[in-house]
């Protein structure tokens, strides 16, 4: 799937974001094994219970048996590029270490590898001893 189509899916997902506290809505769409999964941020008054759009989409994919994610697109209501937070980067390391992260500000598109965003990520391989 090309980046523009994946970004469009992320924009659709952003419409479902629940962000009553920050008013900062995020949407994500990923592709894995030819299937697209979307996610949005879901805030909670107990801020630690908040889930990011990226982890929402990844959780949906993994819960359906897809653990080899090729690409994820991320958009936000800020109108700027919105790179994933540290927790999301670590989750991406687990399920898409060789994948691509696509960001859009509505005008331009930037692409990164997960390794560029998390150059010294901790993986399951590191736990083998």
Q: Which residues are annotated as a binding site for Zn(2+)?
A: 52, 85, 88
CB half-sphere exposure, 127, CA atoms < 13 A:
4
Q: Which residues are annotated as a binding site?
A: 52, 85, 88
Establish whether 111 is a catalytic residue: no
Catalytic residue among 12, 43, 54, 125: 54
User: DSSP assignment of 60-117, as one string?
Assistant: HHHHTT-----EEEEEETTSS-----HHHHHHHHHHHTT-EEEEE-SS-EEEEEHHHH
Catalytic residues: 54
């Amino acid at each position: 799937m090309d980046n523009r189509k994946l970004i469009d899916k992320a924009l659709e997902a952003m419409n479902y974001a629940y962000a009553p506290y920050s008013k900062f809505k995020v949407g994500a769409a990923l592709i894995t094994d030819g299937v697209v999964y979307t996610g949005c941020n879901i805030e909670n008054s107990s801020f630690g219970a908040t889930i990011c759009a990226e982890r929402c989409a990844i959780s949906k994919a993994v819960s359906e048996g897809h653990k080899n994610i090729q690409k994820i697109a991320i958009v936000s209501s800020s109108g700027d590029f919105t790179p994933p937070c540290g927790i999301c980067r670590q989750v991406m390391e687990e399920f898409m270490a060789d994948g691509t992260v696509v960001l859009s500000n509505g005008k331009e598109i930037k692409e990164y590898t997960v390794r560029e965003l998390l150059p010294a990520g901790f993986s399951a391989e590191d736990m083998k001893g």
